[in-house]
Structures are given as structure tokens and as C-alpha cells.
Amino acid sequence: MVELSWLGHAKKTFTHSPNPIKLAMRDGSRISLADLCEETAPPCHLNPLLFNGHIQTIWTVMKDAGPQIIYKRRIFESDDPAYAGQFSVDFVVQTPSPKDDTLPVLTTYYSEKEFEQIDSLDSKPMLVTLHGLSGGSHELYLRHALAPLVAKEGGWEACVINSRGCAMSKITTPLLYNARATWDIRQIVKWLREKFPNRPLFAIGFSLGANILTNYIGEEGSNCVFKAAVVCSNPWNLEAGSLALQRSWMGLEIYSKTMGTNMKRLFETHMDQILKNPKIDVEKVRKLKYLHEFDRYIQGPTWGYPTEGAYYRDASSTDSMLAIRIPFLAINAEDDPICVNEAIPYEEFKQNPYAVLCTTSLGGHLSWFQVGGTRWFAKAADAFLIKVANEVDLEAPLAEKVEANGSAVPVCKEATYDPMRRRLHVPHVPDASS
């Protein structure tokens, strides 16, 4: 049961393996991942007037200007013919360009000449960012986390991968994105590694982007090149979350309806491309009201799932967390009305020494508003990332490496459990040179 938080003082709880990995520090000492996460997480003192998860979450509609982040956008063509199409990546820059009304505020396109000069051999940390459902690089919650890092005194570089069709980007095939759409981040990470060979790469994901990021890191396993990652308000178990939303009036008529409306608007924007898929029934889509209906009538037919439940079970990141092999911090609020507490994989976190879960008794969904409008989760995430980047020996192997209990652990002579076994299989599509 979630404790009441007196005057906005939320309780923090850390869940992790009894034997978390130990990280080698630059000063020669070692620290456990759990201790590092606890040391860097500031006290969670939130606005006492926003005293529960619903009020915290609904307060996100009260937009303020927030910190300014300037972007240059580059369009990438997918290098995997199985997921053909284009997607946009917004890179943080320091100097604004003339306004472009076809893009979100403070965002312009790279010129070809500018992009040709983007290579760098510097060793600044670089943050790869994934936004939430139907969002983009312009989102306020995202800018709160990026601003302290990319300020000149922070010294970080960053980019935001916009999900296909989001943030005023165009799509060129019937494919939007889904909760396990890891193909675009995989392409960009490979590209970043080649363009910036000296930069240590880190990652942060929010809400649906947190789910995608967790899936990606799990898929990569011990080959993941990120030095560390943070996920905020991850929905984890999508089926449990969807059913929880449908159980209450607020869940269904406020949250699910709002998210369904946002996704329906995305469909209307890109309808000409999406309807090239003959399996999409436009009349059913236009009548839908809730998020699970969008997943039933768009995601199911697009990806071959027979029901939205099958999609949720396949795309959930609960099992993916067991396959993670980099330092990983997850931040969730126990009173989050969208990414509900019952969907958080507490027991799985106890099985993976590479992962730590920080839950707070108050905070809502991507909210955690403090007096003055700042957000606690941004401070906690940034403090963790800065500590790892500045004080951990990033070239040292993970000290006292231990095998997590989710990776092919024998349960009998011939049986193993593979947390990353997936049901959706996309057939190989040969490229033009084949």
C-alpha cells in the first residue's frame, strides 16, 4: 500500500539484487551500483499542493515555457528493409537558426554542409533520448532532464530520436512505431559509434520511450555500448497497465481517452501512408476513443498481432530487464495512474544485479513537480548519469561481474529461459544489392 506523503515529502524505496555489480571508480575504489544510485538520488520533496498521483499527472497540462533546448534535425532512412521508411533525429545545438514553421519550436533542419561537418573526436558524454507516447524532442519533461546536461557548463552532447510520425515528422511507409520498435535506436547507436568514436554513450527514456529503451538494451545484452541508462515512468507490463486503466472511470475516460485521442490525431496526420496497409479499417479507427482501441485497430493489423493483448504481452519490457548487462536505473512513482504500480517488475529487479529500481510514494506520471515547477525525476536521473560519467572508470570491465538470473539459466537438463525470446518474427527482406 502506498504511504501518504506528508507535505510533499515522498518516500524513496530502492529495489535491487542482493549482490549488485560493483563499479570501478577513477580514484581506485569500488562502489556497488545500488549504493551509487542511493547516493545520487536527492530527497524527493514535491509540491505539497499536488498531493497525489492524479493531481501531479494532470498538472502536466499546465504548460510553462520551461528550459529552452535548441535542435537541428536530420532525417535518416532506415537501413533495415524489414522496417522501411524514414525517421528524424534532433541533435542539441547551442545556436538558434531562423524559425521553421514546419518543425517544433527552436528546431530547424541541418543543412547538408552542416551535417557533413558533424564528426567529432572529442570525448564529451553523449545522451541518446527517447520520448513518450506521441511526443517528441519538444516535450517539457524531456527538456527538464536535458537542460542541465547540455548547458555549456554541463558539457554533454545529446540527441532525441523522434518516433516515426511524431514531432511534426513525416512517414514514407505505412509503419508508425510500436512499444518494441527498437530498430531505429539500433541504427542511430551504430551511427553515433562510428561518427563519435571517443564519446561515451548514455541513454534515457520516458514512458513508452522507456519501454522501448529497456527492450533495446535487453536485446543488446552484453553487446550494449551504452555506459549506463535511466528509464522514467516505464509502463513495464503493458497488458497489466491497459487493464488497470480500463478498471476506473478516470483511467478510461481521462488517461486512456486522452492518449487514444493523441494517437488518433497522429493517424489522421499520416492517414494517406497508413491506409496503404489494406488491413487497416479506417471506419473503426475513426470511431475509436481509447488507447487500447487504437492498439487493436492500428498496431494489431500493422504488425500482425491478433489482439491488443498479444501486442502488449510481446512488447512489454518486464522480461527485457532481466537481460540488461549495463548499469541501469529505473525511476517510477507508486501512485502513477498511467504506468501503474502493479505493473512494475519488483521481483525481476531482485534477480538482475545490473539494475536498480527507485520508486517514490508520490510523483504521478512523468511529473514529480517540486515547488517552482522543477521536476525531481530530472534531478535524480541527471545526478546518476553525471556520477557515472565523471567518476566511474568507463574503460574498466564491470567489477565483480555476476550472471543475472534471467539469462538462459538452466531449470532442467535440457531447458533454459531466454528473457529476450520474441514472438513477432519479421521475415528477412533482401536489399536491392542481394
DSSP for residue 243: H
365 assigned to active site: yes
* 8 Å CB contact between 33 and 352: no
| 98-378-390 Cα angle (round to 5) | 95
Residue 364 class from Cβ within 10 Å (0-12 exposed, 13-18 middle, 19+ buried)?
A: buried
Q: How far is CA 43 from the centre of its chain?
A: 23
CA separation for the pair 26, 45 (Å, rounded): 31
Catalytic residue among 144, 361, 365, 407: 365
DSSP for residue 251: I
CA separation for the pair 367, 369 (Å, rounded): 5
CA separation for the pair 324, 215 (Å, rounded): 9
CA separation for the pair 305, 239 (Å, rounded): 14
Q: How far is CA 69 from the centre of its chain?
A: 19
Catalytic residue among 163, 207, 233, 317: 207
* 8 Å CB contact between 13 and 1: no
* 8 Å CB contact between 324 and 231: no
207 assigned to active site: yes
List, as one string, the DSSP characters of 155-195: --EEEEEEPTT-TT---SSS----TT--HHHHHHHHHHHHH
CA separation for the pair 149, 203 (Å, rounded): 12
Catalytic residue among 336, 361, 367, 382: 336
Q: Which residues pair with 203 in a beta bridge?
A: 128, 229
Q: Which residues pair with 5 in a beta bridge?
A: none
375 Cβ contact partners less than 8 Å away, ≥ 6 residues apart: 141, 144, 145, 367, 368, 369
What are the strands of the beta sheet with 12-16, ordered from one edge? 12-16, 355-360, 328-333, 228-232, 201-206, 126-130, 157-162, 86-93, 70-77, 107-109
395 Cβ contact partners less than 8 Å away, ≥ 6 residues apart: none
45 assigned to active site: no
- Picking from 233, 263, 243, 264, the residue whose alpha carbon sits closest to that of residue 358 is 233
Q: Which residues are marked as active site?
A: 207, 336, 365
